[in-house]
A and B are shown apart, each in its own frame.
Chain A
Amino acid sequence: MSSTIDYSQELSVVEGKPPLRSIDDAIIKPLDSKPDKKYYMALAVTISMLGIGVIGLALSFYYGTGLWGNNNPVGWGFPIVNFVFWVGIGHAGTLISAILFLFRQKWRTGIARFAEGMTIFAVMTAMIFPAIHVGRPWLAGYLMPYPNQHSLWVNFTSPLLWDVFAVSTYFTVSLIFWYVGLIPDFATLRDRTSNKIKKIIYSVFSLGWRHSNRHWQHYEMVYLILAGFATPLVLSVHTIVSFDFAVSIIPGWHTTIFPPYFVAGAVFSGFAMVQNVLIFIRKIFNYEHIITLDTLEKMNKIILLTGMLVGYAYGMEFFIAWYSGVQPEQFAFVNRAFGPYAWAYWIMVSCNVISPQLFWFKKIRRSIPVMFVVAVFVNVGMWFERFVITVTSLSRDFLPSSWAYYTPTLTDFAILIGSFGLFFTLLLLFTKTLPVVSIAEVKAVVDGAQPSHKDH
C-alpha cells in the first residue's frame, strides 16, 4: 500500500480484484488437497503437547489435586489461571464476528470464520478446567441443577454456578453462530465435491441450501439476530468470570472494576492470539490478498486500544486501593508490585502495557515479524495477569499468619502445555476440514461484487 490513500473512499477489504471462482478455489484448496509433511509435523507437536497434558491430568485424577502447587491460602492456582486465560482467548472470535458485524466493519469478513473457530476451541479448552480443578471431578455434575430425590439444589448465589451457565451459554451460542455462518459454505463445498462421502456430509450440514434469494434473506436475518444475541454474551461471559473474583471478599479480588477490566483484557488477548495464528494461516494458505495487511493493522490498533484500557485498569486499581483507605486492600496492591510475586507483576506490566505501545508506529503495525512478537508478549502478559490476580491476592490476604508462597509443580505445567496442545490440535484439524475463511462473505466484499454507482 502506498501512502497515498484516499480516505474518502471505503478501503477494499480484498486486495486486487480476484475472480469469484478463484476465491472458491483458494479457500477450498486445503480441504481438497492431502495434508503435507509440515502439517503432520505440526500435528505431531500439538498432539504430543496434548499427550503431556493428558498424562498430567491422569496422574492428578489418580493421586489427587495434591500433585499441583495449590496449598492452603492459595486454593486456586494454574487451573483457574488457565481457565480465565482461555475464556479470554475465546472473546476475540465473537467480538469480531458479532460486534464488528453489527458495526458493519467489513474488514472482519476475512478473519471472522477463523476467529469464531478459535472461540469454540478456546472455550472448549477453558471448559475443561472448572471440571478438573475440583477435588472430586467425578462429582462435578453436582454443579448442574438437576432434580433429585435428596431435594438438593445448587447454590444460586455462587459465582461459580453463574460461570457454569455463562460459559455453557456462550459456548452454545458461539457454536450455533459459527454453524449458521458455515451453511452457505457447506452448500458450496457440496456443490464442488466429487467425493461421495464428503458429498453426503456436506449435504447434511448444508441443510438443503440452494443459494436462493429466499435463503439468503432468511440467512441474513438469522445471522443478524444471532449477532445481536451474541453481542451481550461477549460482555457477559467475562463479566461473570470476573465475578468469581469480584464477589469474594479477598483484597485484590474484591474490586468493582473487574467486569470491564476483564472484558477489555479478554479482547486484548483474544486479538493477540487471532493475529498470531492468522499470520501463519495467510502465509501457508496464500490468503495474503484475503487476510490483508490492512486487516492485521486494524487488529493491531484494537490491541493498542485494549492494551491501554488494561493499563488504565492497572493504574486505577492502585488508585482505588489507596483511596479506599483500607489497609489490607492497599497492601494487596503494593504487595503485587513489590512483594514476593513482583516478578510476575512486572512481566505482566511490561508485556501488556509497555509492549503494545509500539503499535503507535505505523511501520511496526504493518511489520509482520514485529507485530507477531508483540502479540506473543501480549498473550504471555495476559496469562500472567490472571496469575497475578489469582495467586498474589490469595497468597497474602488478611491474616499474616496464614500467608504462604505458591509454587507450581511439573504437573501444573504439564496441564498448561496440554491445554495449548488441545487448542492447537483442534485448530489444525479445523484448517483441514472446514473453510477457514467464509467463502460466501468474502465473495460479497470483493471489489465489484456489490452494485455501485461508481464507474465499472
Chain B
Amino acid sequence: MSKTKNDKNFWKSLKEYYNDPDVLKSKSNEFADGVTEDFNPSELSPISRRNFLALLTASAAFTATACSDYQDKGEIIAYNKRPEGIIPGKPNFYASTCTGCSNNCGVLVKTREGRPIKLDGNPDNPINKGKICATGEASILNLYDPDRLSGAHKNRRKVDWKSIDSEIIDILNKAVSDGKEIALITKTVTSPTYKNLLTELKTKYKTLKIYSYEMFDDLNKRNAWEKSYGSRNYPSLKLDEANIILSLESDFLGKEGNYIEAARKYAGKRDVMQSIEFNRLYVVEGMMSLTGMNADYRFRLRPDYQKDFVLSLITEITNKNGKSLYSKSYSGKDFCTKYGFDQEKYSTLVQDLLNNQGKSIVLAGNSLSEETHILVNYLNDVLENSALYDNNSINNELIKNSSKADWKELESKIKNKTVSVVINAEANPVFDLSASFINEVETKISLVDSENETSSVSNYVLPINHALESWGDYNSRSNLISLQQPVINPIFDTRQKENIILTWVNGHSEAYSDDAYHQYLKNSFKENVYSRLNTPAAFDRFWFASLHDGAVQLNNETSANQFNYSAVSDIKVENKNNSEYLVHLQKSYYIGDGKFAGNGWLQEMPHPVTKVAWDNFAAVSPLTAKSLDVEMNDLVEVTTDGKNVKLPVIVQPGMADNLIAVELGYGREVISDSGKNTGTNANILLNGKGYFFDVNVSKADGTYKLASTQEHHSLDDTFVKDFHRKRKIIQEGTVKEYQKDNRFLDKYKYENFDITKGPEYTGLKWGMAIDLNKCLSCGTCVTACNVENNVPVVGKDQVLTGREMQWIRLDRYYSGTPEEPIVSNQPMLCQHCDNAPCENVCPVNATNHSTDGLNQMAYNRCVGTRYCANNCPYKVRRFNFYNFRDHFANAYYQNDVSALAHNPEVTVRSRGVMEKCTFCVQRIMEAREDAIRENKPLTGDMVTTACQQACPTDAIVFGDSNDKNSKLYKYRNHELGYHVLEVLNVRPNVTYLAKLRNTHSEEV
C-alpha cells in the first residue's frame, strides 16, 4: 500500500512523540510484561475463535451440500503449470525397497500425479523378481493411515521438533555423564547405513546399548549354523533344484524366510508347460499351514516331537547309506509306533530322500530348537544336500538380535534403576515382548509412525516417515544392496527415523535438515559400495543408476564350510514325556507380528487355511476338540506360568492332536481404528521358552463369534462331503496318472450344445488361465486386487453376515478324513462367461458382454436388484449393501487422507451397486490407448491384470484366447484345462489347470 497524505503518525503522549526508548520497548510488546503469563493457548478450549468460525462455515456448507447432488464429489482442477516429469493420467514408477519385514523385497512404486497408489515387486530385483507378498501389496494403506501421528509430542503435547531434539540430546548426554544406560530397542537391522548410524550413536553416547529383536526370528537357526558350520550367516536355498523337499514345521511357502522367493522356486518345478518332473513336497507339522495344504505327503506331528523325528530319519538314512558318524539310534519303526505314523508313508519318505541324495532338502522351521536345527543340518549333510545351499546369496546378520538373556538383563537393570533412557526405534516391545517393565524407566522415547502400546507410555513420541517417504539401503542378502527412495513428501509433520537419530549423533538440534540422512546415506554408499565395485562410472551417475534400478548386485561368493561333526555328538535322544497340551504360537499370515494390525485390507484377508478374518483363534484338531468338549466359537482358556488367555476355538482338520495353535499379533490395544477389538493378545503367554511349550487348556464359559468367509461344516458329514469332487469344481490327478494317460480328464468332459446361436468372437478375446499346480493360495492376488480396484474394507460385522467385498476369493476344500485331509485350493473370481447367466436377468442391462469377451458392469446403470448375483453359479458378484466408505462407526474412510490411496482409474462404487472382477478393464483400456497412440494392434500380452502381476508363482495367465500363438491359448487348450461347472454351459473364460499331486500312486 502506498503512503498517502492522509497517513498520519498518531501519538498518544509526548514521550511517544519524542521516541522515548521505554515507550518504544513497550510498543514492541503488545501486552505489558506479566499480562500474558496466565495466557496459555494450549490450556484454552480447543475451539478457537477461528476454529469456531470455520466450524460454523463448515456446518453451513454441509447443510448446503446435503441438498445438492449426492454424486457431486467436488471439482477436479487440472494442473495450471505441469510439473516436470508428470503427465496427467500417466503413472510414474520408482524403484524402492519394502521394509514391511526383514526380507526387504525390491518394490516398484506406482505413483499418479505425485501420490503413490500401488506397490509391486521390482522385476529387476534378483531375489523377489517382480513379486511381493500380500502384506507388502496392502501396505500402501499404511502410508495414508489417518491415525498416523503428526508433529513431535512431549507428554502427549505437541512441541516443536527443535526444542524436543535439544531436550533429548541433553537427556542423552546426562545419562552418559551419570553413567546410566541408554537402551535403544529396534527391530532386526538389515540396513548397513542404519547400522553404521547406530554405531556412531553408540560412540557418541557411550552408555548406549542396542537391543534388537524380531518377533519370529531365526535365532535358533543362526545359532545352529554357528555350531554346525562356524558361521551365523546361513545360505539361501536352491529350491528350484530340489526334487524332494521335506519341511519340518517350516511354513517356507507361507510366512518363513523369503517365502516369495521360495514360492517362485518351488512352483518353478511344478510347471506342466515345462516338464512334469515335479518336485515332491513332504510336510511334517502340527498346525495345518499354507505349506502343509500344498504338500504331496503330510504328516501330523506336534512340534516338540520333531527332534525325535529327525533322529529317527538320521538313523534310517545313515543305516542305509552308511555315512553314520553318529551313534545315537532311534529306529523309524519305533518312531512310527510311538507317534502313530503311517509306516508305509514314512518309508516312502526315507526312500525318496535316499534316492535323491544331493537333490533334496530338509527344512527346519524357525520355531524349532537349536538342537533340531543342528540335526537337520547334519541330515542334509549326510544326504549331500549341501549342494543346494546357495553360498552366493547368504542371509546376513548385521546386528545379532538380542537373546532371551539380554532381555532378562535389561529387565533387571531397569529394576535396579541403572537405565535412565529407553529409545524405542520403530518397535513395540510393550506389546510384542510384554515388556511393560520399561515403564519404570525415567525417560522413554518412541520413534513410531502411529501410536502403539510402547509410544503410549513414552514421554517423547517422535512420529516417523513411512517407508515411501524415506531413504535407505538394505542388505539382508549378501549379494544385494537394495535401495529405498522417497516417492512423496512426508504427508504429515514427520521425520525419518534415521534422520532423527542422525541429529542426535550430531549432538545439536540445528544439525537437522530434511536432506541430512539422504546425504549421509549417499556418503555411506560411496564409501562402502561404490568404492568396492571399481565401476568406471562417476559416483553421481552410478548413484542415480542404482536408484533407478533399485538395487546393486554384489559378488560376495563365500566358500562352503565343512560340517562340524562335534556339533551333533552331544545331542541326546530326548524321549520327552507326553504332556497333555502344547501351545504353538505362530506368526499371523497377513498382519505379521501385529505391525499391520491397523491395516483394514490385511485384517480382512481370510486366513489361508481356516478362512477366519479379523481375529486370531485357538486351532485344535477334531479329536482334541472332542476331548475338550468344544466346537467352533467356544472359548478355551490357555494357562501357563499363571498367565492365561481366553481364545475362541477353530476345529482344524489335519492338526496334530493335543496341540493348540495360536497366531500372535492380534489383540493390539493402542492401534488405529481398523485394528481395534480384533482378536486376543496371546503374546503374554511368551515366557522365553520358545514358541511352543506345555500349557493347561480347559473349556471356558461363553462363546466368541469368529468371522469366517467359508461355512464350516464338519468334514465327515456325509450330507455335504466331497461336493467339490462330485460337482467337478476341483479336478485333480497325480503325476503318475498323467504320465499314463495325459487326457485322463477327458472322461469328465461334457458335450454341451446350444439351442440358439450365440455371438461369435472373432477378434481379440480376453481370457484367463489359472494353473492350480502353481497356485499356493497365498492371497497375494487378493490384496493386489484390493489395491488396484479400490475394494473397500467392510469390517468384521459385515464379514460375519457374509458381505465381504473382495473380488477374488481363495476357496479351500477338504476331502479325505478329518485327521488326514487332502486340501484343494482354488482362486475364484468372475469367470466372464460367454453365456453369462447374470447378463440375461438384469432388467436394466447394467451388466452385459463386450465384443472382446468381457462381462461388464455399468455401475451408473445398476439399480441393485441383486438378481445377477443370485444367478451367478460361482457367486463372485459383490453387492454394496452400504456405502462401505462411511460404514465404519468412526468413519474410517471419512478423512482427507484415506481417499488418496485410491486408484484414480477405477470408479469408487457407491451404495446399492453390484460390482465384481473386471479383468482389470482399466489396464486393458490403458494398453489399448497405448496401442492406438503407437499405431499398432492391441495384443493379449500387452495387458497384465493386477492379480497376474502379483502372483508370486505366475499361476495366473491372461491374454487373448483367440491368438493361437499366445501363452493363454496353450493354457486354455491344455489337456489339464477345465472349466468349473462345465455342465451348466455358461462357457467361462477362466480356465483352470487341474492339479497333479506328485504322489507315488495314481489315485489322488
How long is the Cα–Cα vector from A249 to B838 in the complex, in angstroms? 10
Give the nearest-CB partner of B912 in chain A: A135
- Which residues of A sit under 8 angstroms from B719, Cβ to Cβ? 334-335, 338-339
Q: Are B861 and A142 in contact (CB under 8 A)?
A: yes
Task: Determine if A63 is an interface residue (Cβ-Cβ < 8 Å).
Answer: yes
A175 → chain B closest CB, angstroms: 24
How long is the Cα–Cα vector from A249 to B873 in the complex, in angstroms? 8
How long is the Cα–Cα vector from A303 to B105 in the complex, in angstroms? 73
Among A70, A73, A74, A400, the most chain B Cβ lie within 10 Å of the Cβ of A400
Q: Are B724 and A143 in contact (CB under 8 A)?
A: no
How long is the Cα–Cα vector from A434 to B67 in the complex, in angstroms? 42
Task: Determine if A414 is an interface residue (Cβ-Cβ < 8 Å).
Answer: no
Task: Determine if A72 is an interface residue (Cβ-Cβ < 8 Å).
Answer: yes
Which B residues between 790 and 839 are near A, CB-CB below 8 angstroms? 798, 801-804, 809, 811-813, 826, 828, 837
B540 → chain A closest CB, angstroms: 55
Q: Are A398 and B841 in contact (CB under 8 A)?
A: no
A399 → chain B closest CB, angstroms: 6
From B804, B811, B844, give the contact of A72 (CB < 8 A): B804
Q: Are B840 and A157 in contact (CB under 8 A)?
A: yes
Binds B, one of A33-41, A159-167, A208-216, A272-280: A159-167
Q: Are B912 and A134 in contact (CB under 8 A)?
A: yes
Q: Are A133 and B881 in contact (CB under 8 A)?
A: no
Q: Mark A139-171, 1 if CB is under 8 A from B, else 0.
A: 110110000000011110111110010000000
Which A residues between 149 and 208 are near B, CB-CB below 8 angstroms? 152-155, 157-161, 164
- Which residues of A sit under 8 angstroms from B803, Cβ to Cβ? 66, 71-72
Task: Determine if A248 is an interface residue (Cβ-Cβ < 8 Å).
Answer: yes
From B729, B837, B840, B875, give the contact of A155 (CB < 8 A): B840
Binds B, one of A230-238, A352-360, A381-389, A401-409: A401-409
Q: Are A404 and B881 in contact (CB under 8 A)?
A: no
Q: Are A65 and B881 in contact (CB under 8 A)?
A: yes
Q: Are B841 and A160 in contact (CB under 8 A)?
A: yes
Size bin of chain A's contact surface: 35 or more
- Which residues of B sit under 8 angstroms from A345, Cβ to Cβ? none
Q: Are B845 and A398 in contact (CB under 8 A)?
A: no
B692 → chain A closest CB, angstroms: 31
Task: Determine if A327 is an interface residue (Cβ-Cβ < 8 Å).
Answer: yes
Q: Are A133 and B865 in contact (CB under 8 A)?
A: yes
Question: Residues of B within 8 Å of A, CB-based: how many?
Answer: 56
Give the nearest-CB partner of A158 in chain B: B843
- Which residues of B sit under 8 angstroms from A66, Cβ to Cβ? 798, 803, 881-882, 887
Task: Determine if B883 is an interface residue (Cβ-Cβ < 8 Å).
Answer: yes
- Which residues of A sit under 8 angstroms from B880, Cβ to Cβ? 64, 135
Which A residues between 58 and 104 are near B, CB-CB below 8 angstroms? 63-66, 69-76
- Contact status of A400 and B711, CB under 8 A, knowing A73-B875, A155-B840: yes
From B801, B813, B863, B881, give the contact of A139 (CB < 8 A): B863
- Which residues of B sit under 8 angstroms from A76, Cβ to Cβ? 866-867, 870
Give the nearest-CB partner of A245 in chain B: B870
Among A134, A153, A405, the most chain B Cβ lie within 10 Å of the Cβ of A134
Q: Are B863 and A136 in contact (CB under 8 A)?
A: yes
- Which residues of A sit under 8 angstroms from B984, Cβ to Cβ? 249, 398
- The majority secondary structure among interface residues of chain B is loop
From B724, B843, B870, give the contact of A400 (CB < 8 A): B724
Task: Determine if A30 is an interface residue (Cβ-Cβ < 8 Å).
Answer: no
Task: Determine if A328 is an interface residue (Cβ-Cβ < 8 Å).
Answer: yes
Q: Are A403 and B711 in contact (CB under 8 A)?
A: yes
- Which residues of B sit under 8 angstroms from A161, Cβ to Cβ? 843
Task: Determine if B647 is an interface residue (Cβ-Cβ < 8 Å).
Answer: no
B749 → chain A closest CB, angstroms: 17
Q: Mark B867-909, 1 if CB is under 8 A from A, else 0.
A: 1011101110011111100010000000000000000000000
Q: Are A71 and B802 in contact (CB under 8 A)?
A: yes
How long is the Cα–Cα vector from A195 to B882 in the complex, in angstroms? 53
B916 → chain A closest CB, angstroms: 11
- Which residues of A sit under 8 angstroms from B842, Cβ to Cβ? 155, 158
How long is the Cα–Cα vector from A344 to B216 in the complex, in angstroms? 50
- Contact status of A250 and B883, CB under 8 A, knowing A160-B843, A404-B802: no
Q: Are B879 and A72 in contact (CB under 8 A)?
A: yes
Task: Determine if B727 is an interface residue (Cβ-Cβ < 8 Å).
Answer: yes
How long is the Cα–Cα vector from A400 to B824 in the complex, in angstroms? 13
Task: Determine if A54 is an interface residue (Cβ-Cβ < 8 Å).
Answer: no
Task: Determine if B537 is an interface residue (Cβ-Cβ < 8 Å).
Answer: no
Q: Are A401 and B862 in contact (CB under 8 A)?
A: no
- Contact status of A158 and B867, CB under 8 A, knowing A71-B801, A135-B880, A399-B873: yes
How long is the Cα–Cα vector from A140 to B912 in the complex, in angstroms? 12
Q: Are B870 and A247 in contact (CB under 8 A)?
A: no
Give the nearest-CB partner of A71 in chain B: B802
How long is the Cα–Cα vector from A140 to B727 in the complex, in angstroms? 37
Q: Mark A391-429, 1 if CB is under 8 A from B, else 0.
A: 000100111111111000000000000000000000000
From A74, A247, A401, give the contact of B828 (CB < 8 A): A401
Give the nearest-CB partner of A131 in chain B: B863
B685 → chain A closest CB, angstroms: 33
Q: Are B865 and A160 in contact (CB under 8 A)?
A: yes
A331 → chain B closest CB, angstroms: 8
Give the nearest-CB partner of A72 in chain B: B802
B611 → chain A closest CB, angstroms: 9
Task: Determine if B720 is an interface residue (Cβ-Cβ < 8 Å).
Answer: yes
- Which residues of A sit under 8 angstroms from B376, Cβ to Cβ? none
Q: Are B867 and A75 in contact (CB under 8 A)?
A: yes
How long is the Cα–Cα vector from A63 to B889 in the complex, in angstroms? 12
Q: Are A70 and B881 in contact (CB under 8 A)?
A: yes
Among B726, B798, B842, B980, the most chain A Cβ lie within 10 Å of the Cβ of B842
Task: Determine if B548 is an interface residue (Cβ-Cβ < 8 Å).
Answer: no
Q: Are B869 and A135 in contact (CB under 8 A)?
A: no
How long is the Cα–Cα vector from A402 to B842 in the complex, in angstroms? 21
Q: Are B881 and A248 in contact (CB under 8 A)?
A: no
How long is the Cα–Cα vector from A338 to B828 in the complex, in angstroms? 28
- Contact status of A154 and B804, CB under 8 A, knowing A64-B882, A249-B984, A398-B874: no
From B844, B867, B874, B883, give the contact of A142 (CB < 8 A): B844
How long is the Cα–Cα vector from A394 to B867 in the complex, in angstroms? 11
A341 → chain B closest CB, angstroms: 13
Among B801, B804, B811, B911, the most chain A Cβ lie within 10 Å of the Cβ of B801
Q: Mark A429-442, 1 if CB is under 8 A from B, else 0.
A: 00000000000000
Give the nearest-CB partner of A339 in chain B: B719
Q: Are A142 and B863 in contact (CB under 8 A)?
A: yes
A140 → chain B closest CB, angstroms: 6
Q: Are B914 and A135 in contact (CB under 8 A)?
A: yes
Task: Determine if B523 is an interface residue (Cβ-Cβ < 8 Å).
Answer: no
Among A64, A66, A339, A394, the most chain B Cβ lie within 10 Å of the Cβ of A66
- Which residues of A sit under 8 angstroms from B887, Cβ to Cβ? 66
- Which residues of A sit under 8 angstroms from B986, Cβ to Cβ? 249
Q: Are B861 and A401 in contact (CB under 8 A)?
A: no
How long is the Cα–Cα vector from A134 to B880 in the complex, in angstroms? 11
- Contact status of A158 and B841, CB under 8 A, knowing A249-B871, A328-B727, A401-B809: yes
Task: Determine if B295 is an interface residue (Cβ-Cβ < 8 Å).
Answer: no
Q: Are B811 and A401 in contact (CB under 8 A)?
A: yes
How long is the Cα–Cα vector from A216 to B804 in the complex, in angstroms? 64
3 A-B pairs closest in CB distance = A135-B864, A135-B912, A75-B866
Extra contacts, 15 of them, besides A140-B863, A331-B723 (Cβ < 8 A), are: A65-B864, A65-B881, A73-B802, A76-B867, A134-B865, A152-B844, A248-B870, A327-B726, A335-B719, A400-B720, A400-B723, A401-B809, A401-B812, A402-B811, A404-B711
User: Would you give 28 A-B contacts (Cβ < 8 Å), ordered by A?
Assistant: A64-B881, A64-B882, A66-B882, A70-B881, A72-B879, A73-B875, A75-B870, A135-B864, A135-B881, A135-B913, A139-B863, A152-B845, A157-B840, A158-B842, A248-B871, A250-B870, A328-B727, A331-B723, A397-B873, A398-B873, A398-B874, A399-B980, A400-B711, A400-B723, A400-B724, A401-B809, A402-B875, A404-B802
**A-side interface residues toward B, CB under 8 Å?**
63-66, 69-76, 133-137, 139-140, 142-143, 152-155, 157-161, 164, 244, 247-250, 326-328, 331, 334-335, 338-339, 394, 397-405
